[in-house]
């Protein structure tokens, strides 16, 4: 198969950013568990599979390493990050419950019409999505949109310590790897709506409570991944 034909089949466009295309494909495979947690990711094999040189694969994997989805070991190479244990999961949610409700409270205080419109647009994109595509791509886009929605709230809060601490834990990427094989429920979207309503009213206490409930329910939905 010609490189151009293979690129088209794999979703990599030329000209343009080959690295971005390779990154997207590996990201989808990691999030969907097509690349299993802990599995080795041979650069040469992946490059042949995608019909590209090893350089964009290395760059994409380096980016994914910064995001916590892959690991690199000396003399061994890259592998998918291991799946979380239940203890790690429970610790993370205890951590989120300490920080994110307070971030939502501060965001309600600092909310502007422009910031609110940005959050509403992001929430609408999650609810409606783009025209049907393959399940992996649709799911990965939802994961990214949800991560951005939460990060935007923390940005609006104005507390960069809270925001950077949560961001550096790569919370949503790991959570969505857990829930790939479960349905993204309507409940989650309704919980986002409750947050938005609190932000529209610039109601700090209601925003705090809405975020607390959202995280608690998210935790409860995901516990089935460990059963």
Rg over CA atoms, the chain:
19
> Closest Cα partner for 94 from 224, 194, 6, 215?
215
pTM of the shown model: 0.78
The residue extents of the domains of the chain are 3-80, 86-226
Closest CA to 212 of 98, 59, 133: 98
CB 105 within 8 A of CB 208: yes
Q: Looking at the domain covering 3-80, what would its CATH class be? A: mainly alpha
- Top-level CATH class of 86-226? mainly alpha
pLDDT in tens, the chain (227 residues): 333 334 434 444 443 489 999 998 998 888 878 898 899 999 999 999 999 999 999 999 999 998 888 999 988 899 998 888 889 889 989 999 999 999 999 999 999 999 999 999 999 887 665 554 566 566 667 777 888 899 999 999 999 999 999 887 776 666 766 665 455 567 888 899 999 999 999 999 999 999 999 999 988 888 877 77
The rounded distance, in Å, linking the Cα atoms of 79 and 39 is 5
């Amino acid at each position: 198969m010609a490189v151009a034909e293979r690129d088209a089949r794999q979703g990599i466009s030329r000209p343009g950013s080959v690295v971005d295309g390779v990154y997207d494909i590996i990201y989808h495979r990691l999030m969907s568990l097509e690349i299993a947690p802990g599995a080795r990711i041979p650069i040469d094999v992946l490059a042949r599979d995608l019909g590209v040189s090893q350089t964009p694969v290395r760059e994409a994997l380096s980016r994914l390493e910064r995001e916590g989805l892959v690991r690199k070991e000396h003399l061994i190479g890259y592998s998918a990050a291991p799946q979380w244990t239940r203890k790690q999961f429970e610790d993370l949610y205890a951590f989120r419950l300490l920080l994110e409700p307070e971030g939502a409270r501060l965001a309600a205080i600092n909310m502007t019409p422009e910031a609110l419109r940005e959050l509403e647009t992001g929430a609408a994109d999650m609810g409606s999505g783009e025209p049907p595509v393959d399940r992996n791509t649709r799911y990965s886009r939802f994961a990214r949109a949800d991560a951005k929605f939460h990060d935007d709230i923390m940005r609006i809060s104005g507390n960069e310590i809270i925001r950077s601490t949560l961001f550096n834990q790569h919370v949503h990427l790991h959570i969505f790897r857990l829930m790939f094989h479960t349905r993204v429920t309507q409940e989650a979207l309704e919980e986002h709506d409750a947050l938005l309503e609190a932000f529209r009213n610039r109601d700090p206490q209601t925003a705090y409570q809405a975020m607390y409930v959202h995280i608690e329910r998210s935790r409860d939905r995901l516990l089935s991944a460990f059963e």
